[in-house]
Amino acid sequence: MPSPLEQLDRDALVMLYLADELSPEQRAQFEQRVTNDPELAALLAPAREAQSRTAAMLRELDQRDRLPVNEGVALRRVSRGIQQWQVDRLRQQVPAQRRHVTVPWWSYPVGAVAAVITIFLIWSTRQPIQPLPPDEKTAQQLQIAEAESDALADWLEAGFSTDEVAVADMSSQSPAAVPGTGPGEDTGGFFIPPREDVAW
């Protein structure tokens, strides 16, 4: 497995070495690699010279220009700024939201309507059923129909009784006495012979 130094390119290794960001073991490995690799040594020399010139210029500027405030005051301001930045970062963190099941808004009125319907059904089943008063118009029609049926029955009964009396009178008389029944008399009708049973 390659080491972390071998995974980095040459420019990154040079910058880490000049910034003193390598561990003692990694610095020893890098210095040994510089001795064996002339190209890496050629990159390291100008970078080291540029770093030394930059540090010298910064020291010269620090000696020429004084700080606007005392060093202790600057340190306190910087520390307060760092602390405030940490507090602001903690405030901006969103707390973990608890997962909960949301009930849709329409479930509340639906539940109320279902409860009202259930209560009404229970109440209606416990109420006694009273007979409905008959309609006056319908009662009159029923009375008229009943009277007509009684009249028809009386008329039929009177008709049957009259026919029975006439048949009894005719049966008591002799055939010769009944007009149209004697021998040789035409009754103005036709004769239907009695039915004979035919043996199949």
pLDDT tens per residue, range 105-122: 788 888 888 998 998 888
Q: What is the 3-state secondary structure (H, E, C) of the chain?
A: CCCHHHHCCHHHHHHHHHCCCCCHHHHHHHHHHHHHCHHHHHHHHHHHHHHHHHHHHHHHHHHHCCCCCCHHHHHHHHHHHHHHHHHHHHHHCCCCCCCCCCCCCCHHHHHHHHHHHHHHHHHHHCCCCCCCCCCHHHHHHHHHHHHHHHHHHHHHHHHHHHHHHHHHHHHHCCCCCCCCCCCCCCCCCCCCCCCCCCCC
pTM for the structure as a whole: 0.33
Question: How far is 17 from 53, CA to CA, in rounded Å?
Answer: 17
Q: How many CB atoms lie within 10 A of CB 17?
A: 20
**What is the pLDDT averaged over residues 32-45?**
87
Most confident of 91-105, 106-120, 130-144: 106-120
Most confident of 25-29, 125-129, 191-195: 25-29
Judge whether residue 170 has pLDDT over 80: no
For the cut 70, the answer to whether the pLDDT of residue 95 exceeds it is: no
